[in-house]
């Protein structure tokens, strides 16, 4: 199946700083990527839909100014957590679909564990 | 009522048992159904996918969709300790770039 990578796999930052997480589709081009967050023992919560070359679509309750999404190319989307706080500590996961595969399933990255101290 | 309901478990079974995992949903417009497996601290891994109603088998895994009942199932035969993970059902309205709607996930432990 298609491969989606994320970097970094884990990051620890101090409260008030910003952190950037990258999501890459390695062997296909993705016009759309999705960003999720997952708290321990909880399901995936969709944060936003990232569209190449246009603004991201955020889910209700997700702060646009706090979670900045940039989808600058067909293989890269970034999520920047600005002015991070301890409550932003979570597991962030991206996913993408290969539009040329003729298959509809989405492939997930390995996730990024963010800890804000 | 939530769009997708899934019993979070945890479910503990002995090695070799047949495991049945289920989800119910409320939106009859869902057409595409998936099961993902997620190991601790890892991203979800696609296990099975099915379009509309019917069965699909892949090795020890069988996925069933009953759209009339809005009910989907994943069966694992001859369960192994390596099957211990969280299993998430997911569904989508279409095959385009619409987000998946996930169940909460069921934690499964297969005891050797």
Summarised one tens digit per residue, pLDDT across range A22-80 is 999 998 888 889 999 998 877 888 999 988 888 899 999 999 999 999 988 889 999 99
pLDDT at B61: 97
pLDDT at B52: 83
Instruction: Tell me if A23 sits within 8 A of A96, measured CB to CB.
Output: yes
Q: Is the CB of A93 inside 8 Å of chain B's CB atoms?
A: yes
- CB contacts, 8 Å: B88 with chain A: 43-44
* Closest chain B C-alpha to A16 CA, distance in angstroms: 25
Q: Are A43 and B105 an interchain contact pair (Cβ–Cβ within 8 Å)?
A: yes
Counting DSSP H helices and E strands in chain B, the numbers are 0, 11
Question: Which tokens hold the place of A27?
Answer: 């062997």
- CB contacts, 8 Å: A95 with chain B: 100
* Closest chain B C-alpha to A15 CA, distance in angstroms: 23
Instruction: Tell me if B73 sits within 8 A of B64, measured CB to CB.
Output: yes
Ranges of residues in chain B with a pLDDT under 50 are none
Distance CA A101, CA B68 (A): 29
Instruction: Tell me if A21 sits within 8 A of A9, measured CB to CB.
Output: no
Band (pLDDT 50/70/90 cuts) for residue A15 is very high
Q: Are B49 and A113 an interchain contact pair (Cβ–Cβ within 8 Å)?
A: no
Distance CA B78, CA B101 (A): 29
Tell me the CA distances in angstroms from B86 to A42, A70, B47, B110, one per residue in order: 10, 30, 12, 11
């Amino acid at each position: 199946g298609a491969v989606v990578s994320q970097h970094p796999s884990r990051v620890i930052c101090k409260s008030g700083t910003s952190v950037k997480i990258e999501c890459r589709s390695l062997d296909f081009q993705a016009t759309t990527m999705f960003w999720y967050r997952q708290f321990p023992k909880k399901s995936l919560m969709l944060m936003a839909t990232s569209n190449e070359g246009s603004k991201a679509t955020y889910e209700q309750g997700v702060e646009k100014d706090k979670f900045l999404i940039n989808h600058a190319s067909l293989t890269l989307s970034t999520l920047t957590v600005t002015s991070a706080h301890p409550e932003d500590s979570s597991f962030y996961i991206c996913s993408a679909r290969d539009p040329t595969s003729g298959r509809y399933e989405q492939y997930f990255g390995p996730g990024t564990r963010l800890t804000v101290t | 009522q939530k769009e997708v309901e899934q019993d979070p478990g945890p479910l503990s079974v002995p090695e070799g048992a047949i495991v049945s995992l289920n989800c119910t949903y409320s939106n009859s417009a869902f057409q595409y159904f998936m099961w993902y497996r997620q190991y601790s601290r890892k991203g979800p891994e696609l296990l099975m996918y099915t379009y509309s109603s019917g069965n699909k088998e892949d090795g020890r895994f069988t996925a069933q969709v009953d759209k009339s009942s809005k009910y989907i199932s994943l069966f694992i035969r001859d369960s192994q300790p390596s099957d211990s993970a969280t299993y998430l059902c997911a569904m989508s309205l279409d095959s385009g770039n619409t987000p998946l709607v996930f169940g909460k996930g069921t934690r499964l432990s297969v005891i050797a």
